[in-house]
């Protein structure tokens, strides 16, 4: 048997404690998004970081791909009630980006920007967790188009809608602001362990 680097067999033992309230485990990998899968041409693709940062950057695909990378195995939880355990992702740790751009002390939230104007907001302190990355590889293979090729955000500790597929940029902000699904009623924070599925409507 191959060396079980991430100890998946042992991790598989007590799965019930890893399923947040109201979630059901799936072995499949469902595809969910609004709109159609974008066709991405890497020759004119770029990745931008701007807003409350000392040094805004624009990276080409080659530059992004040459940044330090790591692999993590983690569980993901979709607000539509499926959870998938032990998914393996490789990509650029979010902290690598932070070191490059150096956020100002006033930066407290980040808006992730993706193709077709998809956005999602996440608190900066959540992104600073060491399981957050710009993922370009799933289970050892480049992301498939429907799962976000060439790059997606991965924020394992939030519902999966915060893990923006087809990621193109990060905007550092002083205050929170709803993204695409948050504007449609989903929770601003989205912690699966607190079942933060829907937010309080503004007319409440």
Ligand X SMILES: Nc1nc2c(c(=O)[nH]1)N[C@H]1C(S)=C(S)[C@@H](COP(=O)(O)O)O[C@H]1N2
Query: 61 or 138, CB closer to ligand X?
Result: 138
Cβ burial of 45 (10 Å; 0-12, 13-18, 19+) is: middle
Q: Figure out which of the listed residues 37, 78, 100, 124 binds ligand X, where binding follows CB under 6 A.
A: 78
CA distance 168 to 152: 8
CA distance 180 to 115: 12
Contacted entry of Mo ion, ligand X, none for residue 108, CB cut-off 5 to 8 Å set by kind = none
Binding mask 90-129 for Mo ion (x = CB under 5 A): ----------------------------------------
Contacted entry of ligand X, Mo ion, none for residue 42, CB cut-off 5 to 8 Å set by kind = none
Q: Is 193 one of the binding residues for ligand X (CB under 6 A)?
A: no
Binding-site size, Mo ion (CB under 5 A) = 4
User: Cβ 201 to ligand X, closest distance in Å?
Assistant: 19
Considering only residues 35-74, where is the footprint of ligand X by CB under 6 A? none
Q: Largest alpha-carbon pair distance within the chain?
A: 58
CA distance 77 to 84: 7
Q: Figure out which of the listed residues 31, 42, 128, 184 binds ligand X, where binding follows CB under 6 A.
A: 31
3-class SS at 135?
Answer: strand
Q: Figure out which of the listed residues 94, 149, 161, 166 binds Mo ion, where binding follows CB under 5 A.
A: 161
Tell me the two tokens of residue 198. 């829907």
User: Cβ 166 to ligand X, closest distance in Å?
Assistant: 5
Q: Figure out which of the listed residues 57, 78, 100, 188 binds Mo ion, where binding follows CB under 5 A.
A: 78
> In 3D, which of 46, 59, 188 has the Cα closest to residue 121?
188
Contacted entry of ligand X, Mo ion, none for residue 83, CB cut-off 5 to 8 Å set by kind = none
Binding-site size, ligand X (CB under 6 A) = 15
CA distance 67 to 114: 20
Q: Is 165 one of the binding residues for ligand X (CB under 6 A)?
A: yes
Q: Please name the residue ranges forming H helices in 22-169.
A: 61-65, 94-101, 124-127
Give CA angle at 202 (197, 204), nearest 5°.
90
Q: Which residues of this protein are in contact with Mo ion, per CB under 5 A?
A: 32, 78-79, 161
């Amino acid at each position: 048997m191959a060396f079980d680097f991430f100890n998946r067999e042992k991790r598989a033992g007590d799965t019930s404690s890893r399923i947040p309230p109201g979630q059901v485990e799936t072995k499949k990998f469902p595809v969910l998004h609004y709109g159609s899968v974008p066709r991405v041409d890497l020759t004119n693709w770029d990745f931008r970081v701007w807003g409350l940062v000392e040094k805004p950057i624009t990276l080409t695909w080659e530059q992004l791909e040459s940044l330090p990378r790591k692999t993590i195995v983690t569980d993901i939880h979709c607000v539509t009630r499926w959870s998938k355990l032990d998914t393996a992702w490789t990509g650029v740790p979010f902290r690598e980006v932070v070191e490059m751009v150096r956020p100002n002390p006033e930066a407290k939230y980040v808006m992730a920007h993706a193709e077709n104007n998809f956005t999602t907001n996440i608190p900066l302190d959540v992104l600073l967790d060491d399981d957050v990355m710009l993922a370009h590889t799933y289970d050892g293979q480049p992301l498939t188009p429907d799962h976000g090729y060439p790059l997606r955000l991965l924020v394992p500790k939030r519902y999966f809608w915060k893990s923006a597929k087809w990621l193109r940029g990060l905007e550092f902000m002083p205050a929170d602001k709803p993204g695409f699904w948050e504007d449609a009623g989903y929770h601003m924070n989205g912690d699966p362990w607190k079942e933060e599925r829907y937010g309080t409507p503004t007319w409440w």
